[in-house]
Amino acid sequence: MEDAEEKYRQKLARQSPTLKAAVAEYRRRYKRHPPRGFDAWWKFAQEHGVKLVDEYDGMAEDLAPFWELSGEELRRRALQVGELPSIDLVRVKGGKATTVKISTFDDSEVSARANGFRAMLSKFSSALPDMDFPINAKAEGRVLVPWEHRKYPNLTLQDSSMGVEAMLNGPFKPDWGTDGTVWDAWRRTCHPSTAARRVFSSLRNAFTHQVRNYLSSSSASDAVGPDFHFAATTSASTIDFCEKPYEHYTQGHFFSDWRTIPALYPVFSPARAKGFLDIKIPSHYYYGSTKRYTYGWDPVNLQLKDVDPMEVPWEDKLDKIFWRGATTGGGSHPPGFSPQYQRHRFLRMTSDTSTANRTVIFANSPSPTNYISAVVPIARLNEEIMDTAFVKAVSHESYPGGLKALKEAHRFGDSVPLGKHWSYKYLIDLDGMSYSGRFMSFLASDSVPIKATVYEEYFSDWIQPWYVSFVFVHGILACQHKRVCNVIRVHYVPLSSSYQEIYNIHSYFSGPTPSTVEASNSTQAHPDGEGYSQEHRITEGDRRLRRIARAGKQWKKTIGRTIDMEGQLVSLRVSMVSIANVSPSVCL
**What local confidence, expressed as pLDDT, does residue 345 receive?**
95
Return the bridge partners of 426, or none.
Answer: 321, 448
Task: Provide φ and ψ at 520, rounded to 5°.
Answer: -80, -15
* Res. 408: pLDDT tops 60: yes
Task: Provide φ and ψ at 357, rounded to 5°.
Answer: -115, 160
**What local confidence, expressed as pLDDT, does residue 8 receive?**
81
Average pLDDT (450-457) is 94
**What local confidence, expressed as pLDDT, does residue 521 receive?**
77
Average pLDDT (212-231) is 51
**What local confidence, expressed as pLDDT, does residue 531 receive?**
44
**What local confidence, expressed as pLDDT, does residue 136 receive?**
97
List of E strands, 227-356? 268-269, 272-273, 279-280, 297-298, 303-304, 318-326
State the pLDDT confidence band at 415, using cuts at 50, 70 and 90. Answer: very high
* Res. 544: pLDDT tops 80: yes
**What local confidence, expressed as pLDDT, does residue 237 receive?**
67
**What local confidence, expressed as pLDDT, does residue 123 receive?**
87
**What local confidence, expressed as pLDDT, does residue 156 receive?**
73
Encode pLDDT of 166-183 as tens digits: 999 899 999 998 889 999
Cis peptide before 334 (omega within 30 of 0): yes
State the pLDDT confidence band at 309, using cuts at 50, 70 and 90. Answer: very high
**How many Cα neighbours within 13 Å face the side chain of 315?**
2
* Res. 241: pLDDT tops 70: yes
Average pLDDT (265-290) is 96
**What local confidence, expressed as pLDDT, does residue 541 receive?**
86
Greater model confidence, 205 or 304: 304
* Res. 151: pLDDT tops 80: no
**What local confidence, expressed as pLDDT, does residue 211 receive?**
52
Q: Is 294 left (phi over 0), alpha (psi -120 to 50) or beta?
A: beta
Average pLDDT (566-578) is 90
Encode pLDDT of 513-537 as tens digits: 999 989 987 545 444 444 433 344 4
State the pLDDT confidence band at 65, using cuts at 50, 70 and 90. Answer: very high
The overall average pLDDT reported for the chain is: 85
* Res. 312: pLDDT tops 90: yes
Per 3-state DSSP, the chain is made up of helix, strand and coil in percentages (nearest 5) of 35, 15, 50
Average pLDDT (440-459) is 96
State the pLDDT confidence band at 475, using cuts at 50, 70 and 90. Answer: very low
Global pTM value: 0.89
The secondary structure of 505-564 as a DSSP string is HHHHHH---HHHHHHHT-SPPPTTSTTS-GGGSS-HHHHHHHHHHHHHHHHHHHTSSHHH
Average pLDDT (303-311) is 95
Domain boundaries, the chain: 299-560
**High-pLDDT (> 70) share of the chain, %:** 85
Q: Which of 319, 298, 296 is nearest to 307 (CA)?
A: 296
List of E strands, 327-475? 357-363, 371-377, 386-392, 424-430, 448-452, 455-456, 470-473
Q: With beta carbons less than 8 A apart as the criterion, state whether 436 and 446 touch.
A: no
**What local confidence, expressed as pLDDT, does residue 479 receive?**
38
- How many residues does the structure list for the chain? 588
Average pLDDT (28-48) is 93
**High-pLDDT (> 90) share of the chain, %:** 66
Q: With beta carbons less than 8 A apart as the criterion, state whether 174 and 85 touch.
A: yes
* Res. 82: pLDDT tops 60: yes
**What local confidence, expressed as pLDDT, does residue 365 receive?**
66
CA distance 178 to 199: 21
**What local confidence, expressed as pLDDT, does residue 470 receive?**
36
Greater model confidence, 237 or 390: 390
State the pLDDT confidence band at 120, using cuts at 50, 70 and 90. Answer: very high
Integer-rounded Cα Rg, in Å, for the chain is: 25
State the pLDDT confidence band at 226, using cuts at 50, 70 and 90. Answer: low
The secondary structure of 93-149 as a DSSP string is ETTEEEEE-------TTTTHHHHHHHHHHTTTGGGSPSEEEEEESSSS--B---GGG
Encode pLDDT of 555-571 as tens digits: 999 999 999 999 999 89
**What local confidence, expressed as pLDDT, does residue 223 receive?**
39
- In the chain, the amino acid numbered 575 is S
Greater model confidence, 534 or 146: 146
